[in-house]
Amino acid sequence: MGYIKRDLENKILALSKEYACILITGPRQVGKTTVLKQLAAADREYVTLDDFEDRALAKRDPALFLQMHSLPIFIEEVQYAPELFSYIKIAIDSGAAPGSFWLTGSQAFKMMDLAQESLAGRVALLHMPALTQHEIYGSGNNVPFSVDLDALKQRKTTGQQALLPEMYERIWKGSMPGLVSGKFTDRDVFYNSYLQTYIERDVSELIARVDKLQFQDFIRAAACRAGQMLNVHDIAMDIGVSDDTAKRWLQVLEKSDVIFYLRPYSNNLLKRTIKTPKLYFFDTGLAAYLTKYTTPEILANGAISGALLENYVVSEIRKTYFNDAKDCLFWYYRDKSSNEIDMVIESDGLLHPLEIKRSVNPGSELISAFEVLDKGSVPRGKGAILCMRPELSAINADNFIVPIWMI
């Protein structure tokens, strides 16, 4: 397949005309370096701090490091030398031109903290996720997912239809560029190598003297609970560590973009809501690999097939916002009366409830829980059932039936 055009490209180029520094974070191997090399002009220098000599110089004498290189420059894995940020700030304040610094890093929380502390107001922060299904299978331009009829009709023209077998092929294979592009053909070898690299480099840096085999078991235990409410104690019990250790290790997975959470929606008028977040993996292919589903067919009929379908949908929706550099509030809803809404998008002062099902013909009873949001202080907007129906349809004028392939 070769190079896969990314939806974030236009945003990178546009912001490079306004900001002297662009910082792109994201999980390992999602294509940050590949994209920036593709976009870079011939005069942009490239240096990676994976190189120990360059890293040592950047940490020991950041001023000299920058003097040794010309602008514009692309510095990869900049989190290894946070000492650079203060000197980049000096360069920007001294008149560095827009687009002078392109930076990437794989530890989003750490990078954001460092950049906001040292480069506040001087850096454009972007997050690059793994590939979206639009980037892999679609065409044309993509925009953040919204429950708007005109926008949904437009999505029909940019996506590629997928029935249940094809959808579980997408979920099972995942969204990592190395696999999707065909650069690597053995999925199991790819994900095994990915895990080993992640544990050796990121985890070992964040956790002193970690038992690497036990941590791999821990990631697997978390993957078995993808798309479910977080139960730290159960995960800890599975691998024989304390609850406090499991909490710390979950923080590491979140900080390095392996997992993310949906927080429960609540406000002062909705007092009986559950407080526990739901856990998701950034890449369903990694989750399927960890849970030992060896084919898409077995996964489609497996115990967590519904949970991984939900994980896929939630992740795909989030990615459409990352790729447009748009902030949005994502929630789920559940109360003590067992009313549940899989996902709630809060946008433009409205709550948009979403239900996720593998059904082809979902019934109107699936939107009954949406009404519980009317008890809150934020108005309810249009809702949707995201499912395996091949074409766009509707329950009524306020609630659509949206094929998952259209996200």
Percent of the chain with pLDDT over 90: 85
pLDDT on residue 269: 62
pLDDT greater than 90 at residue 111: no
The rounded percent of the chain whose pLDDT value lies above 70 is 97
Is a pLDDT exceeding 60 seen at residue 126? Answer: yes
Residue type, 221: A
Q: Quick check: 336 pLDDT over 90?
A: no
Residue 108: pLDDT over 60: no
Q: Does 62 sit behind a cis peptide bond, omega within 30 degrees of 0 on the bond before it?
A: no
Residue 272 pLDDT grade (very low, low, confident, very high; cuts 50, 70, 90): low
Name the average pLDDT for the chain. Answer: 94
Average pLDDT (170-191) is 96
**Which domains are seen in the chain, by residue range?**
9-127 (3.40.50.300), 133-406 (no CATH)
Give the integer Cα–Cα distance in Å for 52 and 43.
24
273 pLDDT higher than 80: no
pLDDT tens digits for 135-158? 999 988 889 999 999 999 999 999
Full-model pTM: 0.94
Query: Both tokens of residue 224?
Result: 């078995």
Measuring CA to CA, how many Å separate 20 from each of 96, 104, 105, 107?
Answer: 6, 14, 17, 22
DSSP calls for 261-310:
EEEEP--TT-TTB----EEEES-HHHHHHHTT--SHHHHHTSTTHHHHHH
What pLDDT does 110 receive? Answer: 64
Q: What pLDDT is stored for residue 27 in this prediction?
A: 92
Count CB atoms within 10 A of the CB of residue 268: 7
Q: Are 386 and 353 in contact (CB under 8 A)?
A: no
pLDDT for res 337: 86
pLDDT value of residue 23 = 94
Is 126 in contact with 15 (CB distance < 8 Å)?
yes
pLDDT, tens digit, for every residue of 34-68? 999 999 999 999 999 999 999 999 999 999 999 99
Taking CA atoms, 9 is separated from 16, 40, 211, 318, 397, in Å, by 11, 11, 39, 17, 35
Summarize pLDDT for 366-403 with one digit per residue, the tens.
Answer: 999 999 999 888 999 999 999 999 999 999 999 999 99
CB 87 within 8 A of CB 63: yes
Tell me the pLDDT tens digit for each residue of 88-106. 999 999 999 999 999 998 8
Range 253-268 average pLDDT: 90
Query: Is-contact 269 376, C-beta < 8 A?
Result: yes
What token pair was written down for 217?
A: 């078991």
Check residue 268 and give its pLDDT.
Answer: 65
